[in-house]
Amino acid sequence: MKRLAVIPLIAALMITPVAADPTTGTGQGIDGDVVVEVDADENTIYSVEVIEQNETLGIGSVAVETLPGEIVEKNSILVDDIAGATVTSMAIKEAVKEALEAAGIDPANFEVESEEEEEVEKTEETIDCDVVIVGAGGAGLTAAVRATQEGADVLVLEKMPMIGGNSLKASGGMNCAGTKFQEEAGITDSGVEEFIEDTMEGGHQLNDRDLVTTMAENSAEAVEWLASIDAPLPKVAATGGTTHKYLHSPEDGSPVGQYLIQKLGEEADRLGINIMLNTTATEILMEDGAAVGVLANDSAHDYVINAKAVILATGGFGSNFDLMTSFNPSLANAVTTNHPGATGDGIMMAEAVGAATVDMEQIQLHPTVYQETSMLVSEKMRSLGAILVNQEGKRFCNDLATRDAVSAAELEQTGGYAYIIFDQNLVDHNASAQEYINVGMAVTGDSYEELAQAMGVDADAFVETMETWNAAVAAGKDEEFGRNNGMDDDLSTAPYYAIKIAPGIHHTMGGIKINTNTEVISTEGEVIPGLYAAGETTGGVHGGNRIGGNAVCDFVVFGRIAGAEAAGYAAGAAEDAA
């Protein structure tokens, strides 16, 4: 029952037109214009085809693939946005409206609610497998590929209409220590012990040291494994809160999350792994104290999934405001960078079968979030030399301190926001920076004075700030705030850019308690047999604050461990049953 191949980048619905010549319309997508061609008359939309777009693979591309067909099928523009791809969904619908207007057709003709669909009587279905994985984000896909490599028959359930989860939003890189890529770059001072201590210090010593040690000790092997599935991360830089260069990213500087999800998805497809989208797991099945499967459903089926091992990889709860505010009421009005499916489902399912949780109150703000769209501005921007200034045009903190420290400093500035400043040289070496410009997040100027005017800050103060920073880079020492990373290049190459940012909810450090084998631990302190967890659904790795780049290392390292451990457990269970 194969339900997923790798999600295609371009998709459209073609139906033989019976109306006049098609007309085109344009909407603003997440990464440029989305252009559609529409064939319609006053009463009927016959076809909608996306003919130009540059939307994110696995996110916006899902809306491109599915939404045109829904508009035609329902003969309405008022179709539901694709969860997780709202901006692209809205762009398609706006483009359809414009195309209709170009044809002299009133879009209001198609702005009617479609008739309610009859409730489908669900069919009960039972599926047997060795390992069932709940969640198709970074941890779930990594675990699925690894378990399959170990010989297990794997089934993955994903409640969203796309693979990737929050991992798709990871824009920086993957922290690793002792890798061949560091050696090739002449980096010899970033060993495993330093990685451990930086992570513990960044997490305010609340982290589980055993988990941190496991992550660090397995990080080099993990990045080698990624290279073995055609997902190398050869570019190395620093990130906030670390003393050395650990951050590994794609050669072209493209966002690491999209890159890895695409590569993992391709490998899952090559291995024939069954991934069921739009399928929600609701309950862990237990027998004699061990996990033996899950209950799940989609729009037409109620599933009983019998498995010898269960892996929970459902992500965190950064989009579940009721749960977050139960720990921190001040977050009620914050924006979140999390995708809409990050609601803590796996955590609650695990708790229902006696699992312990840890650090649930530890919820991280990211300091550089574009508030209008909740889009994250990658920490890699600062790793490559960007700085932060306030409304007065001045720096106000170590721009590459830990995320909690920088977020707190921002909130103390006038208006509770800041600007991230970068130049053309940084844009030329980082594909993410160009994306921010493409979608209209940045203002620009050909001189520091022009940029200050575009930002609305004092030009004299801003020019002095930039000149002082460039001198600090030349001297290799930041006398003002003690920054010691991301100072390889100054900001002297015009044109110059600024993005207005403020803190936003980014990562929930707490979750299911696991041991170093990713086995879930009960409230009694015992292993729950057959139940594993990895990624942001777990707690303990990051403590009170996550270092940028560690989440990717977390999901790859512990995803690999979970896949191997669950496959081994399932093989043992099969032998016992024989």
Neighbour tally for 141: CB within 10 Å = 32
Which of 382, 395, 403, 483 is an active site residue?
A: 403
Residue 225 to residue 557: CA distance in whole angstroms:
10
With beta carbons less than 8 A apart as the criterion, state whether 25 and 98 touch.
yes
With beta carbons less than 8 A apart as the criterion, state whether 467 and 389 touch.
no
With beta carbons less than 8 A apart as the criterion, state whether 273 and 267 touch.
no
Amino acid letter, residue 29 = G
Q: Phi and psi at residue 225, in whole multiples of 5°?
A: -60, -40
Chosen CATH of 365-504 out of 3.40.50.720, 3.30.565.10, 3.90.700.10, 3.40.50.10440: 3.90.700.10
Q: What string of DSSP letters covers 106-124?
A: -GGGG-SPPPPPPPPPPEE
pLDDT for res 553 = 97
With beta carbons less than 8 A apart as the criterion, state whether 316 and 511 touch.
yes
Where along the chain do its domains lie?
23-110, 124-167+255-362+509-577, 365-504
Residue 559 to residue 146: CA distance in whole angstroms:
8
Q: Does this chain's domain 124-167+255-362+509-577 share its CATH topology with 365-504?
A: no
Q: Are strands 235-237 and 247-249 parallel, antiparallel or unpaired?
A: antiparallel
What SS3 state is found at 504? strand
Choose among 314, 421, 311, 438: nearest CA to 373: 438
Give catalytic status of residue 403 as yes or no: yes
Cα radius of gyration rounded to whole Å, the chain: 24
Residue 494 to residue 446: CA distance in whole angstroms:
6
Residue 230 to residue 225: CA distance in whole angstroms:
9
Residue 313 to residue 302: CA distance in whole angstroms:
21
H or E element at residue 133 = strand 123-134
Q: Which region holds residue 344: left if phi is over 0, alpha if psi is between -120 and 50, else beta? A: left
With beta carbons less than 8 A apart as the criterion, state whether 437 and 427 touch.
yes
Distance of CA 498 to the CA centre of its chain: 23
With beta carbons less than 8 A apart as the criterion, state whether 521 and 107 touch.
no
pLDDT for res 513 = 98
What pTM was computed for the model? 0.84
Q: What is the pLDDT along the chain (578 residues), one digit of tens a residue?
A: 444 433 333 333 343 444 457 899 999 887 778 999 999 999 999 999 999 998 877 778 889 999 999 999 999 999 988 887 888 999 999 999 999 999 999 999 998 775 666 677 899 999 999 999 999 999 999 999 999 999 999 999 999 999 999 999 888 899 999 999 999 988 877 789 999 999 999 999 999 999 999 999 999 999 999 999 999 999 998 888 888 899 999 998 888 999 999 999 999 999 999 999 999 999 999 999 999 999 999 999 999 999 999 999 999 999 999 999 999 998 988 999 998 999 999 999 999 999 999 999 999 999 999 999 888 898 889 999 999 999 999 999 999 998 899 999 999 999 999 999 999 999 999 888 998 998 899 999 999 999 999 999 999 999 999 999 999 999 999 999 999 889 999 999 999 999 999 999 999 999 999 999 999 999 999 999 999 999 999 999 999 999 989 999 999 999 999 999 999 999 997 677 66
Q: What is the DSSP letter of 43?
A: S
Q: Mention every residue, 6+ apart, whose C-beta is less than 8 A from residue 333.
A: none
With beta carbons less than 8 A apart as the criterion, state whether 76 and 136 touch.
no
pLDDT for res 115 = 60
CATH fold of 124-167+255-362+509-577 reads FAD/NAD(P)-binding domain (3.50.50)
Q: What string of DSSP letters covers 351-398?
A: HHTTB-EE-TT-EEEEEEEETTTTEE--THHHHTT-EEE-TTS---S-
With beta carbons less than 8 A apart as the criterion, state whether 141 and 216 touch.
no
Neighbour tally for 327: CB within 10 Å = 14
pLDDT for res 568 = 98
Amino acid letter, residue 154 = V
**Four-residue CA torsion sign, 69, 70, 72, 73:** positive
Residue 347 to residue 514: CA distance in whole angstroms:
12
Q: Are strands 527-533 and 301-312 parallel, antiparallel or unpaired?
A: parallel
